[in-house]
Structure 1
Amino acid sequence: MFVKDRMLIFAIVTTIIGFMIAVQFKTTNEPVVRDTRDILQLRQDLRIEKERQQELNQEIEKQLTLLNQLKQRDNIEGAMLDAINDLKERAGLTAVSGEGIILEIKPMYTDYGFIPQTVPAHLLRFLINELNIHNAQEIAIGNQRIISTSAIRDVNNVTHVNARRIPNLPLKVYVLANEAEKLHHEMIVSESVEYFAIENLSITSTPINFITLPEYEQPLRIRHLQPIKEES
């Protein structure tokens, strides 16, 4: 029985590790397309990818440590449930609350010229990258939680997040941060403000003591994994 418990623990942890590796594989093996980003954005994206790689390595090490700890505990089932709940929270599968900021995006001028109805996908991606650079903990665009596999795409000139159409302007972005006031001041003078202004869009930041972000509601797909049969 104890051997089967160990095999079950090992299967769960290796599945988690495999999922993270699959995510990293997906992000580094996108189809080759013409890159139209400027030098500044390329540097920011490179920094994000390096941080993501470092986080992945740390996460793999953490899960291996957890596996060794579980092997030495008597209450294996309770330890497994605690680990699974912790992983769900960090993967964005549960609602989270805390201090942070609310960014409101709306048209800058409405009395003349082109009045935008939505936020272009490339601007939202730039904003998310900049929030991550400034140590945002969790992010939600409207009611769509952003996780490592979230996709922000332009579909027929309509921006979609997590394969869901985002609402028209004004649009709110909810952000959790350990240092909300610092993030608030960073975003006031951020480059996102300048880039959004080019598209006749304004960003206002409001620090808030308590906000709740929704959980990620889409099913997670795990690929490139196969179960290992236990030898008799």
Structure 2
Amino acid sequence: MKAKRSSRNISIALVCVILGLALSWQFQSIRNNAKVMTLENQKKDDLVVKILNEQKNNENLRAKLNELQTQLSKFENARGNSDENIKLLSDEIQKLKTVAGLTKVKGKGVIVTFSKDDALSVEDNDLLFVLNELRATDAQALAVNDQRIIDTSEVRGSGGGGYININGRHVLPPYVIKAIVDPDDAVNALNMVGGVFEQIKVFIDVSVQKSDNIEIPPIGEELIKTDKLKIVENNN
């Protein structure tokens, strides 16, 4: 009798163990499925952000086209009016200087700050990674430690010298990037899953904050070099 009771107790214990393992596996499966669903939702959110950015880029291009067409109409209407032509040309020169980075500008945007504690660990690629992401988010003006960044700007390491070369100057840490850009678009792009910050933060503490009043200085005119360029005459 005791043997039967002992055998029954063992069977019940085995059933309890099996049920416990089954519940544990099921719970773990639910957790894993939840993680997958969360990651998929994040990927969907990132895709939505990218689509919205592309739509905004298309809108900007259409706006630029309309602006150029309006400007062309103004020049055509001003034929024979020297004062009006001078004003239009003056406005165009000012606009070109602004685009070239030769004027001080201000506006809404973001400030990206690399931690002082990690200053010596920051490399040129870290800065370029952030700068390129901000460019992709339609940043209209950029600067690193108040060094204006334009298309021809040099951003490269010093080979362990504790600084980074920008526009031919030694720029010392800590590094602060300023960008005149849509603040929401920039923050979303930098914090995107698998994006810039997620990769940089493995080694370096970096943060971003929005600002309504960012000022970016002009680039030195001596850095705009054209002595090796020749204008191609249009023979058509």
CA distance in 2, matches of 1:197, 1:92: 31
Which of 181, 184, 189 lines up with 1:186 in the alignment?
Answer: 189
Deviation of 1:155 after TM superposition, in Å, equals: 2.8
SS at match of 1:117: helix
In the alignment, which residue of structure 1 is the partner of 2:92?
83
Contact (CA 8 Å) 1:123, 1:195: kept in 2 or not?
A: no
The TM-score normalised by the length of structure 2 is 0.59
Q: 2:127 aligns with which of 124, 129, 132?
A: 124
Match of 2:168 in 1: 163
Query: Is the contact made by 1:118 and 1:159 (CA closer than 8 Å) also made in structure 2?
Result: no
**Residue 148 in 1 paired to residue 144 in 2?**
no
Letter in 2 for 1:142: N
Contact 2:133 2:189 (8 Å CA) reproduced: no
Partner SS, residue 165 of structure 2:
strand
Determine what percentage of the aligned residue pairs are the same residue.
22
1:69 pairs, out of 75, 89, 108, with 75
Distance 1:67 1:119, change over 3 A: farther
What is the rounded CA distance, in whole Å, between the counterparts of 1:135 and 1:195 in structure 2?
21
Report the secondary structure of 1:201's partner residue: coil
The structure with the greater share of residues assigned to helix is 2
Q: Which of 204, 209, 222 is the matching residue for 1:206?
A: 209
User: Helix, strand or coil: the match of 2:225?
Assistant: coil
Counterpart among 209, 224, 229 of residue 224 in structure 1: 229
Question: Which runs of at least 4 in structure 1 moved beyond 4 Å after TM superposition?
Answer: 65-68
- Cα displacement (A) at 1:197: 2.4
The CA distance in 1 between the partners of 2:208 and 2:190, in whole Å, is: 7
User: Per-residue deviation at 1:95?
Assistant: 0.7
Asked if the contact 2:144/2:176 (under 8 Å) is kept, the reply is yes
Q: Secondary structure at the match of 2:115?
A: strand
Rounded to whole Å, the distance in 1 between the matches of 2:140 and 2:158 is: 28
Q: Are the aligned partners of 2:102 and 2:221 in contact in 1 as well (CA < 8 Å)?
A: no
TM-score by length of 1: 0.60
Alignment-derived partner of residue 95 in structure 1: 104
CA offset at residue 186 of structure 1? 2.5
Measure, in 1, the Cα distance between the counterparts of 2:73 and 2:82: 13
Deviation at 1:189, TM superposition (A): 3.1
CA contact (8 A) 1:142 1:173 kept: yes
1:69 aligned partner, one-letter code? F
User: Hey, what's the Cα distance between the residues in 1 that align with 2:184 and 2:126?
Assistant: 23
Contact 1:121 1:152 in 2 (8 A): yes
